[in-house]
Structure 1
Amino acid sequence: MNYTLNQLQIFLKIVQTQSVTKASEELHLTQPAVSIQLKNFQGQFDIPLTEVVGRKIYITDFGREIAEAAENIINQVNAINNKTFAYKGQLTGKLKISVVSTGKYVMPYFLADFMGQHPGVELLMDVTNKNKVVKSLENNEVDFALVSILPTKLNIQKLDLLQNKLYLVGNTTKKFEKGIKTKDIFKELPLIFREKGSGTRQTMENFIERNDVSVLKKMELTTNEAVKQALLAGLGYSIMPLIGIKRELHNDELQIIPVQGLPIKTIWSLIWLKGKNHSPVCVSFLEYLKKEKEHIVQDKFNWYEEY
């Protein structure tokens, strides 16, 4: 047998996600590349590791045993790497962060230099909706979470990073006058909502309820990117975070519609369970953020001030 560490990592991720597509997304590889590596890996065994029924992949009992062995091997390799970095006096370990979906436009900028300074740190970042982010923090599955709406039922500590602004947004086929009354415009515009559990959805619903307006609900989509594509196609309008539409605004593909009461302003905050015993990696990351966050905001998000 001549399987590689890369094949072990890919197979383990397929087992964990139960999907070649999801595995490719989490590994930042193309689906064909993952499929080829899976085929090459399976070809080295006389017993099937997976079965495909319909369009769904299933892991055989033998495949699960191989996945368990693969995980042990990968952990040992990581341990060797950590010992090497530690011997050189470098910071080592895992940094686990759960990020709300729109936060994917924010968090990488607060991570990039830190990760570059500490090659021995392994980043595990999960991007999902607010409910799942809060749940992973509550279950102590992650070190930190990035949210724009603070959970009310958890005892947490926080570090504020960046202001979050939400505007009514649509494509540029129709022009709007300034100072439109909230109740008037929402009677005419079909609105596109994020799914339940989304922080953006919660903020949007709070605004609608607070202003006592009736809306023509058009559709519900599960990602910020899906909402953006629907807006570009002219399917409707939505209240969206400014952070995710920089390029489309600069290219005049989307416009901010001037409405009384907008923008809604919240804060992107890194949160963690109060009293959590942080690892050296987490302590170092917090120290880095406290020292560098203002510089990062000025350097990477100065375009924010245009709106």
Structure 2
Amino acid sequence: MRNLTLRQLRTVQAICRLGKINLAAEDLGLTGPALTLQIQQLERDAEVQLFDRTRGGMVPTAFGLAFLEAAREIEESLNSLEDSISAMKGLRTGRLRLGVVSTGKYFAPQLIAAFRKQVPAIEINLFIGNRAEIITKLRDHEIDIALMGRPPRDFEVRSQVFGDHPLVFIAPADHPLAGVLDISRERIAQEQFILRERGSGTRISLEIFLSDTPRKLEDLGTEMGSNETIKQAVIAGLGLAFISAHTIEQEIKLGRLVILDVVDTPIRRQWFSVSRLDRTTTPAMQAFEQFLLTSGARHLPVVSKPYPANVFG
């Protein structure tokens, strides 16, 4: 194994990613036979089978997945080395792969723009997805830092808070509860809700909030796949929603939605920046995490109730 090369590891990565020899060969600029020989030689050297050859394509074995993990760690180490050399030369350069849960897309561009003003030479690649997608990419070393409401618990991470994340009940402007003060949990539980998918942070928070309401959790309402769809459904009168206050700034300003004055809300959660505990923190990551710690909160949207108090107050 001491003669293992980066080229061989990148071959394993390409086959795992694309699933077929011909696609991986094209991606690497090789012929199919040449790539096949590389894999066969690697399997002989390691004395293990890296892939199962199936009709559907190349499926990595447990040994293949171990090689893939090693390849990802080496790529990260090389990227970290490049960033460290730049830092030692006094160059504030580097690359940051940032993952943001879908609720965060309403403020992520402002965060990135503010950060780039301070450190213009750091390149940022942004990926936005649901919570499960972001966690998977963080676990698989495909992103460096994730911005999310709750750090994952199934693998070790380092995390830091960079701002408050209020969750509120919203309704169309002409709803009977608009303008009513101190709405009880029992009263709000009588409504039907438009919901995110199971496992999302806002869905879990709503379920906890209504957990003492008999039988409500058995029929919360209708699931929809994005905050935008949920907002449009609420505006159309299809139900109420429990949603991040950061997602509704424009609709509140335009008078299309209102925040309901439900007792014990807003529920205050927090935004975290999260990275894997077992990976080296690059200078680019350090710079971004420090920016979030000192300046992140000021770039989060602030939404006020039209009555009688600020959503953060």
TM bucket (normalised to shorter chain) is 0.5 to 0.7
Q: Structure 1 residues 184, 96: CA separation in 2 closer, same or farther (over 3 Å shift)?
A: same
Give the structure-2-normalised TM-score: 0.65
Q: Does 1:110 align with 2:114?
A: no
Q: Does 1:173 align with 2:177?
A: no
- Matched-pair contact (CA < 8 Å) for 1:194–1:224: yes
Bigger shift: 238-247 or 116-125?
Answer: 116-125
- Matched-pair contact (CA < 8 Å) for 1:94–1:121: yes
- Any unmatched runs of 5+ in structure 1? 1-16, 19-59, 70-78
Q: Structure 1 residues 214, 291: CA separation in 2 closer, same or farther (over 3 Å shift)?
A: closer
| Percent sequence identity over aligned pairs | 25
How far apart are 1:102 and its partner, in Å?
Answer: 0.2
How far apart are 1:109 and its partner, in Å?
Answer: 2.6
Please, which of 248, 260, 274 is the counterpart of residue 263 of structure 2? 260
Q: Structure 1 residues 181, 293: CA separation in 2 closer, same or farther (over 3 Å shift)?
A: closer
Alignment of 1:242-261 (within 5 A): 242-261=245-264
Please, which of 265, 270, 275 is the counterpart of residue 272 of structure 1? 275
Structure 1 vs Structure 2 CA RMSD: 3.3
- Matched-pair contact (CA < 8 Å) for 2:246–2:303: no
- Matched-pair contact (CA < 8 Å) for 2:246–2:302: no
Q: Distance in 1 between matches of 2:200 and 2:113?
A: 26
Please state whether the residue corresponding to 1:157 is helix, strand or coil.
Answer: strand
Structure 1 letter corresponding to 2:105 = K
Give the structure 1 partner of residue 204 of structure 2: 202
Q: Distance in 2 between matches of 1:106 and 1:161?
A: 13
Alignment of 1:99-248 (within 5 A): 99-176=100-177, 177-187=180-190, 189-212=191-214, 214=216, 216-248=219-251
- Choose 1 or 2 for highest CA Rg: 2
How far apart are 1:275 and its partner, in Å?
Answer: 4.3
Q: Distance in 2 between matches of 1:120 and 1:62?
A: 37
Write the deviation string for residues 266-297 of structure 1: whole angstroms up to 9, x where unpaired.
00111112242012211222233333335x35
How far apart are 1:117 and its partner, in Å?
Answer: 3.8
How far apart are 1:62 and its partner, in Å?
Answer: 7.6
Aligned residues: 237
How far apart are 1:162 and its partner, in Å?
Answer: 1.3
Give the structure 2 partner of residue 76 of structure 1: none
Q: Distance in 1 between matches of 2:227 and 2:288?
A: 28
- Matched-pair contact (CA < 8 Å) for 1:90–1:118: no
Bigger shift: 283-292 or 261-270?
Answer: 283-292
Q: Distance in 2 between matches of 1:153 and 1:66?
A: 36
Q: Does 1:306 align with 2:300?
A: no
Please state whether the residue corresponding to 2:242 is helix, strand or coil.
Answer: strand
Give the structure-1-normalised TM-score: 0.66
- Any unmatched runs of 5+ in structure 2? 1-16, 30-78
Please state whether the residue corresponding to 2:97 is helix, strand or coil.
Answer: strand
Q: Distance in 1 between matches of 2:24 and 2:235?
A: 44
